[in-house]
Homo-oligomer: A and B are copies of this chain.
Amino acid sequence: MALEPVLIAGEWRQPANPTGSFKAIDPTAGKPLPESYPVSSIDDVTAAIRAAEDAALALRAIPVDAIGRFLDDYASRMEAAADALVERASRETGLPATPRLRNVELPRTTNQLRQGAAAARDRSWTQATIDTKANLRSYYGPLGGPVVVFGPNNFPFAFNSVAGGDFVAAIAAGNPVIGKANTGHPGTSKLLAELALEAARAAGLPPAMVQLVYRTSPDVGFVLVSDARVAATGFTGSKSAGLKLKAAADRAGKPIYLEMSSTNPVFVLPRALDERGAAIAKELYDSCAMGAGQFCTRPGLAVVPKGDKGSAFVAELAGLFKAGTAGTLLGPSGATAIAAALKELVAGGARVLAGGRAVDGDRAAFEPTLLEVSAKTFLDKPHELQTEAFGTVNTVVVADDVAQMAAVAATLDGNLTGCVYSDTTGKDDDDYARLAPVLRGKVGRLLNDKMPTGVAVSPAMNHGGPYPATGHPGFTAVGIPASLLRFAALRCYDAVRPHRLPAELANKNPTGKMWRLVDGNWSQGDVPE
Residues in A lying within 8 Å of B, measured CB to CB: 60, 129-131, 134, 136-138, 140, 143-144, 246-247, 250-251, 253-255, 417, 432, 436-437, 440-441, 444-450, 452, 456, 458-462, 464, 466-468, 471-476, 482, 485-486, 488-497, 500, 515, 517, 520-522
Instruction: Say yes or no: B461 contacts A136, CB within 8 Å.
Output: yes
Instruction: Say yes or no: B448 contacts A495, CB within 8 Å.
Output: yes
Q: In the complex, A450 Cα to B493 Cα: how many Å?
A: 11
Q: In the complex, A473 Cα to B254 Cα: how many Å?
A: 9
Instruction: Say yes or no: B500 contacts A253, CB within 8 Å.
Output: no
Select from chain B the residue with minimum beta-carbon distance to A522.
Answer: B522
> Chain B residues near A473 (CB, 8 Å)?
143, 255, 489-490
Instruction: Say yes or no: B250 contacts A449, CB within 8 Å.
Output: no
Q: In the complex, A521 Cα to B122 Cα: how many Å?
A: 12
Given A129-B459, A447-B495, A495-B449, A253 and B490 touching (CB < 8 A)? Answer: no
Contact of A517 among B134, B143, B459 (CB under 8 A): B459
| 17 A-B pairs with C-beta separation under 8 A | A60-B437, A131-B456, A131-B461, A134-B461, A140-B474, A143-B473, A144-B441, A250-B251, A253-B471, A255-B474, A417-B494, A446-B492, A450-B494, A473-B490, A476-B490, A476-B492, A522-B522
Given A140-B474, A482-B129, A517-B459, A491 and B444 touching (CB < 8 A)? Answer: yes
Instruction: Say yes or no: B490 contacts A462, CB within 8 Å.
Output: yes
Instruction: Say yes or no: A254 contacts B467, CB within 8 Å.
Output: yes
Instruction: Say yes or no: B460 contacts A134, CB within 8 Å.
Output: yes
> Chain B residues near A456 (CB, 8 Å)?
131, 134, 136
Given A246-B250, A490-B473, A520 and B460 touching (CB < 8 A)? Answer: no
> Chain B residues near A482 (CB, 8 Å)?
129, 138, 490
Shortest CB-to-CB span from A115 to chain B, Å, is: 11
Instruction: Say yes or no: B468 contacts A490, CB within 8 Å.
Output: no
> Chain B residues near A521 (CB, 8 Å)?
515
Instruction: Say yes or no: B490 contacts A444, CB within 8 Å.
Output: yes
Other 20 A-B pairs with CB < 8 A, given A129-B459, A250-B250, A432-B500: A60-B437, A131-B459, A134-B458, A134-B461, A138-B460, A247-B250, A253-B467, A253-B468, A253-B471, A444-B491, A444-B492, A446-B492, A446-B496, A448-B500, A449-B495, A450-B495, A460-B492, A466-B489, A474-B488, A474-B489
Select from chain B the residue with minimum beta-carbon distance to A447.
Answer: B494
> Chain B residues near A475 (CB, 8 Å)?
490
> Chain B residues near A253 (CB, 8 Å)?
467-468, 471
Instruction: Say yes or no: A446 contacts B493, CB within 8 Å.
Output: yes
Shortest CB-to-CB span from A252 to chain B, Å, is: 8
Q: In the complex, A466 Cα to B468 Cα: how many Å?
A: 25
Instruction: From A136, A458, A475, A496, name the one whose CB has the most chain B CB atoms within 10 angstroms.
Output: A458
Q: In the complex, A464 Cα to B489 Cα: how many Å?
A: 10
Q: In the complex, A464 Cα to B138 Cα: how many Å?
A: 12
Contact of A255 among B60, B464, B472 (CB under 8 A): B472
Q: In the complex, A458 Cα to B417 Cα: how many Å?
A: 35
Q: In the complex, A179 Cα to B7 Cα: how many Å?
A: 51
Shortest CB-to-CB span from A515 to chain B, Å, is: 5
> Chain B residues near A251 (CB, 8 Å)?
247, 250
Select from chain B the residue with minimum beta-carbon distance to A456.
Answer: B134
Shortest CB-to-CB span from A457 to chain B, Å, is: 9
> Chain B residues near A493 (CB, 8 Å)?
445-446
Instruction: Say yes or no: A490 contacts B467, CB within 8 Å.
Output: no
Select from chain B the residue with minimum beta-carbon distance to A140.
Answer: B474
> Chain B residues near A441 (CB, 8 Å)?
144
Q: In the complex, A409 Cα to B467 Cα: how many Å?
A: 37
Q: In the complex, A423 Cα to B458 Cα: how many Å?
A: 48
Instruction: Say yes or no: B440 contacts A491, CB within 8 Å.
Output: yes
Q: In the complex, A464 Cα to B417 Cα: how many Å?
A: 32
Identify the 9 closest CB pairs spanning chains A and B, nearest first: A462-B492, A522-B522, A253-B467, A144-B441, A136-B460, A473-B489, A250-B250, A131-B460, A445-B492
Instruction: Say yes or no: B520 contacts A459, CB within 8 Å.
Output: yes
> Chain B residues near A494 (CB, 8 Å)?
417, 445-448, 450, 452
Instruction: Say yes or no: B460 contacts A130, CB within 8 Å.
Output: yes
> Chain B residues near A432 (CB, 8 Å)?
500
Q: In the complex, A446 Cα to B136 Cα: how many Å?
A: 10
Shortest CB-to-CB span from A73 to chain B, Å, is: 24
Instruction: From A60, A253, A515, A520, name the one whose CB has the most chain B CB atoms within 10 angstroms.
Output: A253
